[in-house]
Amino acid sequence: MNGKKTIFIGIIVAVVALVLTIVILLLSQLSNITGNNNSPASIPVSNPNNVNIIDLNNSKGGAFEYAVIRPDDTIELRNKLNEKFIIGLEKRNWKSLKWSPDGKLVAVLGKSTPAIYDIYIYNLAQKEWSTATDFKNFSTGVDQYNWVENNTILFTQGEDPTRWIHRFNYVSKEILKVANVSGDIVSQSPDLKYIVVKADNAVPQIFNASGELQEFPLGTLTDAETANPIALNEIKFFNNSEKVLARDVYGDFYKFNLGDNTAVRTTINSSTSLVCSLTENSFNGFTSTSNTLSYGTYSSKDNVFNILGEESFKLSFTVDLQNSYCANGNIYLKLLFADESTQWYKQEATKIEADGVLDGNLETDIIEK
């Protein structure tokens, strides 16, 4: 009898111990989850003017679609359920957040001294920050940068005549000066293959992802019909194409392929603003009056800009074209109203509606990845 009682007590003790172990493990996991959502994963090693959101179409299962510089100058990740994960509490007047093409890294400009900006990078898998550049002992820091590959950034630093495009590799941490320039990065092709650099009163220059100047005849381009020279001022790329939509100094739009000597004038009205290209043969844009937005798409095949829809508002407005962008087949426009309020609108095919994800957020800038 005593033997059976001893066995029974032993079983009870074993069960209790097992239950306690499971409870401890669950509490530990819960603590980790709570900590991840309310405390910084890490802090960078080394009175915001701009706040940024980046929309990320991460097909590889990333949980967060947005990297946000909050009004208090801290950084966090968000998803479309508005779940949040703080990745940095340090305040460096952060600006210009950008995802790497594969969505595994977040880069941002932050002040390393009161006058110098450097690039800081957050690794989502490792949950840690690293410093990509270190110009705190220089007279100028990083002012622009673009991801061109999953682990490669091109950035500009310096002032003319010692202004350079540098190439940074995240894996090797190597930084190389690759091209001496006098202008700024003004656009990039959707496939990240090219960047465009433009100086005041100068012909745009195109550089590849390695930072090498491409010898396209942009300075000698002529009108295919009149044979008159074209003074190019702006260059935008069609999606996944060598086709370009360019604007001259008078506001007229032309289309041509990179390497062509002539360009065809389009029917796009000079008052049209272009946002981005969703296909290799189309470019989305809009025109606006004081309180009416007309949006549409340009077809390079037909050489026609088709109006898809029109929306009127009670207040007059302007469109913040610099921060409007395209993602996941949609166009996102930031409207600035006369009462100083802002609202994001999403254009999907022929309809436009206030964007529910961004509605109510205090962030002001959205930068396409």
Tell me how far apart the alpha carbons of residues 275 and 286 are, in angstroms, rounded to a whole number: 8
Element (H, E) at 15: helix 2-38
Which one-letter amino acid corresponds to residue 34?
T
What is the rounded radius of gyration, in angstroms, for the C-alpha atoms of the chain? 26
pLDDT given at position 235: 94
86-98 pLDDT, tens per residue? 888 889 999 988 8
Q: Which residues of the chain have pLDDT under 70?
A: 1-63, 82, 356-369
| Domain segments of the chain as ranges | 38-137, 269-355
Other beta carbons within 10 Å of 129: 23
- DSSP class per residue in 55-119: E---TT--S--EEEE-TTS-EEEE-TT--EEEEE---S--EEEEE-TTSSEEEEEEEEETTEEEE
d(CA 270, CA 252): 6
Residues 19-49: tens digit of each pLDDT: 555 544 444 333 333 333 333 333 343 222 2
Q: Is cis: bond before 161, omega within 30 of 0? A: yes
What tokens does 148 get? 């061109």
Q: How far apart are CA 329 and CA 144, in angstroms?
A: 26
Quick one: DSSP state of residue 213? Answer: B
Per-residue pLDDT at 297: 94
pLDDT at 274: 92
pLDDT at 262: 97
If we measure between CA atoms, which residue out of 284, 352, 289 comes closest to residue 317? 289
Per-residue model confidence (pLDDT) at position 32: 36
Q: In the prediction, which pLDDT does 47 show?
A: 24
pLDDT of residue 34: 33
What does pTM read for this prediction?
0.78
For 165, residues 6+ apart whose C-beta sits below 8 A from its C-beta are 154, 155, 156, 177, 178, 179, 180, 181, 197, 207, 211
User: Running DSSP on this structure, what letter comes out for residue 41?
Assistant: S
